[in-house]
Amino acid sequence: MTQLLEPDIYQRTSWPSLPAARRRGHGVAMFVALLVVALSLTALDRFEVPVLGVLRNSVLDLMSPLLRVTTTAVTPVLGATRALADWGVLIDDRNRLREENERLKSYQARAQALERQATALTELAHVVDEPKLTFLTARIVATGGGPFVRAALLDAGREHGVKPGYPVMSAQGLVGRVIASGTRSARLLLLTDYNSRIPVLVGANSVRAMMQGDNSPLAKIAYLAQGDEIKSGDEVFTSGVGGLYPRGLRIGSVVDTGEMLRVEPAARLDRLDYVSVLFFDTLAATLADEERAADLRAGFTKRLAPSWPTSAEGGLAR
């Protein structure tokens, strides 16, 4: 039995290996042939043979209808695939927005309750209302960046109502203030300039401090009261102390540079385009205007005194 089975086993195991060897040989030969053709076409194209250009154009003309039909057939499939992928993204976005909406509704209810409480306390304490600010939007036409100055030029001036001392905001936060105003232009002092000093409130506890510019991209925090603590990530706003800026203007956030805590402005001061000038007259300027007006009225009354008698209230007698 063993002698009869051995030839059969030999035939079954040896015969199938011959076609596999031939296929491998054909594959190697095909690869070498294609490689030679590719190198030949590359060389001919390098030497800009005219025949090759004509052949290429003929192949493209023949393949163009086929490619057009293939593209027409494949485009709906690709569109459906993208639509399915976008549908999955939209479902995730919808779920995320629904959760955020629920959170915002709870915050809205709390904010409305706090607003009613603040309104009641304001009326009870007879608090003086903050002045309502108007603004003018204009474009930054030039910036002066250097080792000794951080300034910008605005294309609006006195004829547009822009005065020195007015704060300037971007969409992100405070930019600086107007320091000089011409007829149709104004010069801005950026908050990172060495001459910039801004009283600020830092963090949730409203820690009072002074922010100083030093001509670097980040401003310094100075004059922090003993015992007050601030940390990286705290938001920084104007305090309104001194009447130079309105209270509550966003400036930026505290960052830890490794050596000291600094303030990173929220506004991109190196990419300023359009900014808004807040028509905010400082307390000192308002007081000076009132005193000047009072002096003018007193001088006018004094000039009229010899010929026109005045009443006890200071007005002209009828």
DSSP 228: -
Residue 177 lies in a domain: yes
Amino acid at position 261, single letter: L
Residue 68 lies in a domain: no
Residue 156 lies in a domain: yes
Q: How far is the CA of 92 from the CAs of 78, 112, 249, in angstroms? A: 21, 30, 35
Q: In this structure, are strands 235-238 and 197-202 parallel, antiparallel, or unpaired?
A: antiparallel
User: Whole-angstrom Cα distance, residue 302 to residue 297?
Assistant: 9
Residue 85 token pair: 């992928």
Confidence of residue 243 (pLDDT cuts 50, 70, 90): confident
Q: Which domain holds residue 176?
A: 144-284
Task: Give whichever of 5-9, 70-74, 96-100 has the largest mean pLDDT.
Answer: 96-100
Residue 247 lies in a domain: yes
Residue 13 lies in a domain: no
Per-residue pLDDT at 41 exceeds 60: yes
* Residue 232, phi then psi, degrees to nearest 5: -65, 135
Contact 246, 238 (CB under 8 A): yes
Task: Work out the angle at residue 106's Cα, subtended by the Cα atoms of residues 118 and 101, and round it to the nearest 5 degrees.
Answer: 130
Q: How far is the CA of 70 from the CAs of 62, 64, 73, 92, 208, in angstroms? A: 14, 10, 5, 33, 69
Q: Is the dihedral of CA 194, 198, 201, 207 positive or negative?
A: positive
User: Whole-angstrom Cα distance, residue 44 to residue 175?
Assistant: 63
Measured distance between the N- and C-terminal CA atoms of the chain, rounded to whole angstroms: 151
User: Whole-angstrom Cα distance, residue 116 to residue 114?
Assistant: 5
Residue 303 token pair: 């000039």
Chain centre distance of CA 142? 20
Confidence of residue 275 (pLDDT cuts 50, 70, 90): very high
Residue 252 lies in a domain: yes
* Residue 6, phi then psi, degrees to nearest 5: -65, -45
Between 58-62, 221-225, 300-304, the lowest mean confidence (pLDDT) is in 300-304
Mean pLDDT for 36-48 is 72
Per-residue pLDDT at 2 exceeds 50: no
- Total domains in the fold of the chain: 1
Contact 166, 279 (CB under 8 A): yes
- Return the SS3 of 200: strand
Average pLDDT, the chain: 79
Q: In this structure, are strands 167-169 and 274-278 parallel, antiparallel, or unpaired?
A: antiparallel
Residue 237 lies in a domain: yes
Residue 299 lies in a domain: no
pTM: 0.56
pLDDT in tens, 115-152: 888 888 888 887 777 777 889 999 998 877 555 568 88
Virtual torsion, Cα 22, 24, 27, 32, nearest 10 deg: -100
